[in-house]
Amino acid sequence: MFDKYEDECGVFGIYGHPEAANMTYLGLYALQHRGQESCGISASDGLRLRTHLGSGLVADVFKDDEIFQKLAGNASIGHVRYSTAGGDNIRNVQPIAVDYARGSIAVAHNGNLVNAREVRNTLEEKGSIFSTTADTEVIIHLLARSQSDALPDRVAEALRQVRGAYSLVFLTETRMVAVRDPHGFRPLVLGEVDGSYVVASETCALDLIEAKFLREIEPGEMVVFDKDGMTSYRPFEERTPSPCIFEFVYFARPDSTVFGQQVYEVRKRFGRQLAREHQVEADIVIPIPDSGVPASIGYAEEAGIPFEMGLIRNHYVGRTFIEPQQSIRHFGVKIKLNAIREVLEGKRVVVIDDSVVRGTTSRKIIKMIRNAGAKEIHMRVSSPPTAYPCFYGIDTPTRKELIASSHTMEEIRKYITADTLGYLSLEGMLEIAGAPKTAEGYFCEACFSGNYPIKFPRLKSDDQLGLF
């Protein structure tokens, strides 16, 4: 319903814990913001893998105690999903678990492979039969075809044939493997709890299970966990790091640390920089909750304007809310947000959001604020204009749907009906995020600039994306 880039996915894994599946459940609960469409857990008791999958939220899919009895074992991996490649078919729910000549293996994937269709076509021509439409299954087929004896070698051989973003966790009967792509697009962290190793997309998952944060899994690193402990490998050619800047803008939970920085503090600094770049005389600063709150606090502090909560969000409405009749669809935004007239009436209001994608929701929210009596509305966005789609694990609209790809700043302002409009500059964002001035492309900011760190093969359907 909201006009946002959709979160991609979240992965979690734990090795050597007597209640591995229960810990994975908690980890997925903490990562729920990264995907609300489906989830799953695979667990190993040392002899075989067992998997439970379902559509919906973690608490709904794993609401019965009998499920965890089935998932007994000391190693487990889990996944929360919002479809980025493959659609929302139940067959695409992860972890994907298969039996093959060398035993059983399950995999959970955060990211997107830019050459998945190309590799899949080649595999199908050689006789491979796919049971899902997810790009992750390509990795499974490549791994199964490998002639290498050692699991780390088979995983590395498979991943050298794909290009794109991946933070992966594999589980076999006796081992767990975590891998991050050489560019490091998506976050993946390493922790420890009760003598057991933990990997997760974000540190907030470690916090929930009271695990100690050890370090990030480095770009291009593979870590193998087995009865002998943890072993790190560097099987890939080194690349320039390209961590996704949108993790700071919107995706990561504000209480997480990603790419070595605390997300809440980075978002506050974005707001401070936004105030320096786009000052305006106003009475109050309000966020579009919840993701706009840290930047609003930073903006208010820097500008010396009081911070207020002029919009209140209904947290009991999920992303799967169904508007039952066409006749009431215009209530869509009001179901999630309500304006407080007593805060807004007669005021010059600065409204802070973290991003604007299509502009449709911004337009509705501004109308709501104006109807509550605001005298002026100054829209400020704590990221640059999003003008390009993402191919590295985010479900984004086609370019023609992105308002900044075809409209000037003034045209966007008129469309959303704000009195003024200002975006954080790309240069300001990168400086605040800590990108070294000498390291061009240190962050992936392709959704703002169109500079894609990994090129993708041009296929017929690419024309629909509006890139060519």
Question: Of 389, 386, 349, 353, nearest to 370 (Cα)?
Answer: 349
Structure tokens at 132: 């899902």
CB 353, CB 288: distance < 8 Å: yes
How far apart (Å, rounded) are the C-alpha atoms in residues 20 and 211? 13
* DSSP string over 313-360: E-TT--TT-----GGGGGGHHHHHEEE-HHHHTT-EEEEEES--SSSH
**What is the Cα–Cα distance from 147 to 133, expressed in whole angstroms?**
25
Rounded Cα distance, 383 and 289, in Å = 16
Helices vs strands, H then E, count in the chain: 16, 21
Could you tell me whether strands 212-216 and 261-262 are parallel, antiparallel, or unpaired per DSSP bridges?
A: unpaired
Q: How far apart are alpha carbons 100 and 98 in whole angstroms? A: 6
Give the active site residue among 9, 244, 390, 444: 9
Rounded (10°) CA dihedral 167, 238, 435, 27 = 20
Residue 73 DSSP code = S
Residues comprising the chain, all counted: 468
Q: How far is CA 75 from CA 44, 45, 104, 231, 451, in A?
A: 5, 7, 14, 16, 40
Distance, in Å, from the CA atom of 269 to the CA atom of 274, rounded to the nearest integer, reads 8
For the question of residue 9 being annotated catalytic, the response is yes
| Residue 287: both structure tokens together | 């966020």
Q: Going by DSSP bridges, is the β-strand pair 337-339/311-313 parallel, antiparallel, or unpaired?
A: antiparallel
Catalytic positions are 9
